[in-house]
A = this chain, B = another copy of it.
Amino acid sequence: MKLTILGCYSATPRANAHTTAQVLEIKNHYFLIDCGEGTQRQLRRYKISFSRIKHIFISHLHGDHVYGLIGFISSMGLLHREKELHVHGPKGIKKLILTQLKLSESYTPFPLYFHELTQTQPEVIFEDDKVTVENIPLDHRIYTNGYLFKEKPSDRKLLIEKAKAYDIDVALYNNIKKGKDIRLDSGVLLKNEELTADPPPPKSYAFCSDTAYKPDIVSQIKGVTALYHEATFQEDHSDLCDYTKHSTAKQAARIAEMAQVGKLILGHYSGRYSSLSGFLEEAKSIFSKTALAEDGKVFKI
């Protein structure tokens, strides 16, 4: 699992501070998460192929998370994309994009599907044979979801030398990987555990931005391999959290601590801080396995 941060600053893009967008590579999927203005330029900069992105997940309709979406969609039209594209996001996102396409008398030469969310409880919103994605209801000034990406458990790992030693037909290998026991020609039953090892534990990634401190989410994201949690402010500005519905680095760390996550990644920094070190220090005082998102940074999870 590989996470590329395309932008991790809040509010207004600045010369060297891009607004929220990231790409999660998971089981051969390239999921684009949020799409602030300039995301398509960032994708090119970090050499991520537009065409590999088939699903986009938008947390909410504030500009710093979505103003780059129309440009990305339009450019894929100009680049003659044919593959379908799915946009998951709050109700209204379809109108947002289609109004702009219509006014520019443009259309997309590829099928464009919108999956609008209105639920206030977690649900599985995407699933295939390798991955599930759930929405994580968050607490912001506007309807907002985070997203939880989970690998499905892999097949069991076939101990190939053992299988050969028992002279097992290759045609049965798939059943063994699925956990089945095997009866040999001699009539002996081989338990699956003898032929296989546990697969690597499935990985998971939770994206939680933007949100006020919301301990409710802990049960859903318990034990995730990595959590991205917004940290717009440091504690010296915690008074702004109530009104703006954002979190401090310390609050993000508290969530990580309660959820016992493998790693906490901070982001969505307010532009008022000239350095990011304060965010890291503050969070690490509560949860040591914390890292800072930075534009262009890649996390191998």
The interface of chain A, by Cβ under 8 A from chain B, is 11-15, 37-38, 40-41, 44-45, 61-63, 66-68, 70-71, 74-75, 78-79, 92-93, 95-96, 99-100, 103-106, 141-142
Residues of B within 8 A of A68 (CB): 37
Which 3 residue pairs spanning A and B have beta carbons closest together?
A: A12-B75, A37-B71, A63-B74
The chain B residue with its CB closest to the CB of A13 is B41
The chain B residue with its CB closest to the CB of A90 is B103
User: Which residue in B11, B41, B61, B104 is a CB contact (below 8 Å) of A63?
Assistant: B104
Bound complex: CA of A235 vs CA of B78, how far in Å?
Answer: 22
Determine if B106 and A62 form an interchain contact, defined as CB atoms under 8 angstroms apart: yes
Determine if A40 and B63 form an interchain contact, defined as CB atoms under 8 angstroms apart: no
Residues of B within 8 A of A45 (CB): 15
Some 22 contacts from A to B, beta carbons below 8 A apart, are: A11-B75, A12-B40, A12-B79, A13-B41, A15-B45, A37-B37, A37-B38, A37-B41, A37-B71, A38-B38, A61-B104, A61-B105, A62-B104, A63-B71, A66-B104, A67-B67, A67-B74, A92-B103, A96-B100, A96-B103, A100-B100, A105-B142
Determine if B105 and A95 form an interchain contact, defined as CB atoms under 8 angstroms apart: no
Determine if B44 and A41 form an interchain contact, defined as CB atoms under 8 angstroms apart: no
Bound complex: CA of A12 vs CA of B44, how far in Å?
Answer: 11
Determine if B44 and A78 form an interchain contact, defined as CB atoms under 8 angstroms apart: no
Task: Tell me the smallest distance from the CB of A34 to a CB of chain B, in Å.
Answer: 13
Bound complex: CA of A11 vs CA of B106, how far in Å?
Answer: 12
User: Which residue in B13, B79, B99, B106 is a CB contact (below 8 Å) of A71?
Assistant: B13
The chain B residue with its CB closest to the CB of A36 is B71
Residues of B within 8 A of A105 (CB): 61, 141-142
Task: Tell me the smallest distance from the CB of A152 to a CB of chain B, in Å.
Answer: 34
Residues of B within 8 A of A93 (CB): 103
Residues of B within 8 A of A37 (CB): 37-38, 40-41, 68, 71
Residues of B within 8 A of A92 (CB): 103
Bound complex: CA of A99 vs CA of B105, how far in Å?
Answer: 16
Determine if A15 and B38 form an interchain contact, defined as CB atoms under 8 angstroms apart: no
Bound complex: CA of A105 vs CA of B144, how far in Å?
Answer: 12
Residues of B within 8 A of A106 (CB): 62-63
Task: Tell me the smallest distance from the CB of A189 to a CB of chain B, in Å.
Answer: 61
Bound complex: CA of A48 vs CA of B195, how far in Å?
Answer: 68
Residues of B within 8 A of A61 (CB): 103-105
Bound complex: CA of A48 vs CA of B70, how far in Å?
Answer: 26
The chain B residue with its CB closest to the CB of A271 is B78
